[in-house]
Amino acid sequence: MPSSNKNVLITGCSSGIGRELALEFQQRGYRVWATARNLQSIQALSDQNIQVLELDVTDESQAQAVVQHILNTDGHLDMLVNNAGYGSMGPLIDLPGKELEQQFATNVFAPMALIRQVAPHMCARKQGTIVNIGSVSGVLFTPFSGSYCASKAAFNALSDVLRMELKPFGVKVVTVQPGAVQSRFADNASRVLEQVFKPDSLYMPIEAKVRARANASQDNPTPADNFCRDLIDKLESGRVLNIIRLANGSLAFPLLKALLPTAILEKVLGKMFGLNRLR
């Protein structure tokens, strides 16, 4: 059960899931520490009795300072929600190495850096919850999203191992694998695509399919506030939940991955994304 004594640190609160989680946790009596790279983007949350802090998750020293500030102020941290992330879209051979590195820096290395900061404290208290927001894209891999899929698959693997390693110390690790949730994810993905998808790309004949993948997350998405209410309901249910799948497509896509032979699945996806038209 929530109480005014519980607190939570959430990353990536400027919009979408992060913002709605901050608001919903606050409504349920948590002391919320909301963070974002651009402090101005979350300043309005302070009007809702939410603590706001600047945090570029890829800056490990800043992450350390944020966690230490919370511990110095509250004396404890009950929950960490690793939500910050983005999607790098486009054909893999068109993707510069630095973009792939940035994708992993934000989606994999940054949350692990935060976990390294909070885990010793939680282990010492023999309690705490780490919530890692992954994606069904880390389960079912699709063309033109290879970088994002790979980063989320890696994050899923790290979460699974952390769950086993931290369990003896009373710390829970929950992996959340959303489907389509209403957010600015597609806007950000399209912006990255504009930087990497050039006129001389081998995939220019199916340009529309490449661009459609960048916007796929906003095709009939679940409203972010509904998603966040359902997620927190599950987190507070008292049941042991290792993986939580919510929102449109979150159940169907992993099921396809589990049931279809690889050759058939790749043929279906190849046709869906127009790869069968390339020669």
Paired residues of 81 in beta bridges: 10, 131
Answer for the pair 147, 103: CB distance below 8 angstroms, yes or no.
yes
Q: Residue 234, exposed/middle/buried by CB under 10 A (0-12, 13-18, 19+)? A: middle
| Whole-angstrom distance, CA of residue 131 vs CA of residue 159 | 9
CA–CA separation, 148 and 87 (whole Å): 5
Per the annotation, the verdict on 148 as an active-site residue is yes
Q: Which of 114, 116, 119, 146 is nearest to 133 (CA)?
A: 114
Q: Does 203 participate in catalysis according to the annotation?
A: no
Q: What is the DSSP letter of 68?
A: H
Q: Which of 30, 148, 172, 203 is catalytic?
A: 148
Active-site residue identified among 30, 86, 152, 172: 152
Please give the positions annotated as active site: 148, 152
